Amino acid sequence: MARTEPVQLSERVYYLPGGVNCALVVGEGGRAVVVDSGQDKDYGRNLRRACEALGVVPGAIINTHAHADHFGGNAYLLRQFPDLEVLAPPFEASIIRAPYLEPVYLFHGARPIAELTSKWLQAEPSPVHTEIGAGSIERCGVRFEVLDTSGHAHRQLALKVDDVLLAADSFFGDAVLDRYTLPFGQDIGNQLAAFETVRASGVRVAVPGHGDPSEDLERSAGANVSAVQAAADAVAGACTGGGSEDVLANACQALAVDITDLPRYHLNLCTVSAYLSYLRDQGRVRASLDAGRLRWHAA
């Protein structure tokens, strides 16, 4: 990634704009908390330089969830600062420690094809020293309110500090929603609830993991709800008796999603599976088995 300068959001909260937004919260004693470390060592280096520019040393990394693009910089930062404490939600922590699990789950639990093991989907492993859930924590003299925003990832969290929400993938920025009409999600019911948590967080500004910060959470949360509801309707409409891959193809056609590579195919199949699970719980679709073939129907 190109080097980016930290953008100040409040007296002590900064974020580094990029393909993945990372954040730095300046604490006491010349130390700072890193929130998400980005895709790889380039992101890690960028965070180290930002710390140097601000005259601080990272004391802790909080990973909001275990998608490779949010914790891939951990390993670099740990090599530079071996005393760093890494914090992450349970379940996600297991994947951060064993990142091969991400391509494995994207390939139905089997040994994944090589295309799924690039650094985009499989980061360098990192220890997680402390597992955290909803509540309040203090690191480097900074108090964080930890919000459970599970849904995009199974145990996604967001961090409220001062009047800023470091939301990571709890919601997406406008440009991301415009580009990805089938936004990635692993638990759609929880994802919809998470948008309400973001909306009700009462902050002045919220930074998504991808896209620009929002100062209008009413509108941003609403846009995310609309996108997920549109995707749910498209997947429901795509259930005309075919298998999961037929549903994926039909839904992508309805949503104008063009899949041109194997990683994106598997990410979209995972998301469609999350929608099928959600819609089945809602009683909107049903599954049947026919001569060894799973078929999805409108209920």
DSSP per-residue letters across 102-156: HHHHHTTTSPPPGGGGSTTT-PPP----EE--SEEEEETTEEEEEEE-TTSSTT-
By the rule CB under 5 A, 41 interacts with Zn ion: no
Asked if residue 155 binds Zn ion (CB under 5 A), the reply is: no
Residue 148 vs 169, nearer CB to Zn ion: 169
- In the bound complex, what is the minimum distance in angstroms from residue 137's beta carbon to Zn ion? 21
Q: Shortest Cβ distance from residue 156 to Zn ion (Å)?
A: 7
Backbone angles phi, psi at 213, to 5 degrees: -60, 155
DSSP label at residue 284: S
Bridge partner list, 218:
none
Cα 89 from chain centroid (whole Å): 12
Q: Should residue 102 be labelled a site residue for Zn ion when binding is judged by CB under 5 A?
A: no
Q: Binder to Zn ion among 169, 173, 187, 267 (CB under 5 A)?
A: 169
DSSP annotation of 263: H
Query: 135-139 and 285-290 as β-strands: parallel, antiparallel, unpaired?
Result: unpaired
Residue 67 touching Zn ion (CB under 5 A): yes
Residues binding Zn ion: what is the number (CB under 5 A)? Answer: 2
Residue 36 binds to Zn ion (criterion: CB under 5 A): no
Region binding Zn ion by CB under 5 A among candidate stretches 64-72, 84-92, 104-112, 139-147: 64-72
Q: Would you say 86 or 123 has its CB closer to Zn ion?
A: 123
CB closer to Zn ion out of 237 and 263:
263
Binding flag, residue 210, Zn ion (CB under 5 A): no
Smallest Cα–Cα separation from 73: which of 48, 44, 50, 99?
A: 44
Give the residue with the Cβ less far from Zn ion, 124 or 295.
124
Residue 23, C-beta contacts closer than 8 angstroms, at least 6 positions apart: 13, 14, 15, 16, 34, 35, 36, 166, 207
Q: What's the min distance (Å) between Cβ of 63 and Zn ion?
A: 11
Smaller CB distance to Zn ion: residue 162 or 174? Answer: 174
Provide, rounded to whole angstroms, the least separation between the CB of residue 67 and Zn ion: 3
- Site residues (vs Zn ion, CB under 5 A): 67, 169
